[in-house]
Amino acid sequence: MKRKGSILILSLLVFLVVFMVVVYVLHLSTIHMHIAKNKSTNNQGFYTSEAKIYMCMYEDKYFKSQLQPLILNEFRKTMNKPKDYILLSTEDIEEGDSEKKVSLSFEMQNNRKCLKLFSKTENNNQTINASSLFTVVKELFEKGLPVLHKDYLNEQQQEEVLDYIGILERDISLNNIASHINKIDFLDYESIIVNTIYKNDMELLYRKNSQVVKVDPFIHWDKNKVKEFFILMEDKFNKEPELYIQSDNPTSMDGVLYLNGDLIINSEFIFNGIIIINNGRIIVNSEINPIINGIIISNGEEGWIDLDRVTVNYDRKYIYRYGTYLPDFLDYEFLVLKKRE
């Protein structure tokens, strides 16, 4: 009788242990199911947030109409109160997701101007965030070098300069230049003389066959207004054109000079922006060294410039402002995508 009682107690203990193990295993399985479901939800939310970022960058309906103008404004500073987000259409987000905005900001990382996009997705009462980083400017312009020429670059950088000048030869134009910038096309003129008459008064004299054939006046300039120019000097007729800075008064200009020929500086000159010398020279005859704030890009041969006679300061402000009018200056490169809970 005692033996039967012992067996019964032992059986109950075994049953209890087995029951507890089964309950524990079922509990663990339930937990793992919840974890897997939650992980799946998180991943789905992350991929949705990621998709929002890619739509902003790679779909024209968002990039050209919303994002690109904000990127240009970051450099040109033309908007008083620019938005800091892209607004997506309801049709382009998941059902039940109420987050239509993709936020944007700009920051410097490793001396590169970067665009940061941030999106979030509401999914089953959870908020899943994603952020990404893109460089936006062609690296050539962000090396911190005031003069980009083979004499001062390694072999790879030399190739980059030559490739970029090739792009400019093919694609540079006066189209899409802002209306407040004075657009000057050399056409078939032999030379143009920039003459500052008095303080804010300036004129451009166009010459053919050594004769002045046209005078373009810029008179009574607002003293608080920057003199901005985009001068395009292409050698279309094998005339080896020249741009002269020649005045009895100091000359100050901002903008872009693309010169397929010589820049001849005969008087005091300050230029803020980008100068591209394509198969030409910078010749300085003035008593005071000219000052270039921005960057010079050149493929000129030996003797194309005497840097003892020119002060060149690398200046991002002017490079960014006027570089946006050059082909392939904006060059978007994806850096990183991060998930944030």
- Render pLDDT for 106-164 as a digit per residue (tens, 0 to 9): 999 999 999 999 988 876 677 888 889 999 999 999 999 999 998 889 999 999 999 99
Across 125-129, 280-284, 297-301, which has the greatest mean pLDDT? 280-284
* pLDDT computed for residue 273 by the predictor: 98
* pLDDT computed for residue 329 by the predictor: 97
Cα distance between residue 277 and residue 161, in whole Å? 11
Cα distance between residue 335 and residue 327, in whole Å? 22
* pLDDT computed for residue 120 by the predictor: 85
pLDDT higher for 3 or 165?
A: 165
If you count them, how many residues does the chain have?
Answer: 341
- Asked if 101 and 87 count as a contact pair (C-beta separation under 8 A), the reply is yes
Q: Given pLDDT bands bounded at 50, 70 and 90, which one contains residue 312? A: very high
* pLDDT computed for residue 314 by the predictor: 98
* pLDDT computed for residue 219 by the predictor: 63
Residue 307 scores a pLDDT above 80: yes
- Spell out the residues 6+ positions from residue 80 whose beta carbon is closer than 8 angstroms to its own: none
pLDDT higher for 1 or 194?
A: 194
Residue 41 scores a pLDDT above 50: no
143 CB neighbour count, 10 Å cutoff: 14
> Angle at CA 330, nearest 5°, toward 328 and 331?
85
Share of the chain above pLDDT 70, in %: 82
Cα distance between residue 297 and residue 319, in whole Å? 12
Every domain of the chain and the residues it spans: 1-137, 144-323
Structure tokens at 48: 């949705």
- Which has the closest alpha carbon to 266: 244, 240, 242? 244
Cα distance between residue 46 and residue 326, in whole Å? 36
- What values do phi and psi take at 183, rounded to 5? -100, 120
* pLDDT computed for residue 253 by the predictor: 93
Q: Is the dihedral of CA 51, 56, 58, 60 positive or negative?
A: positive
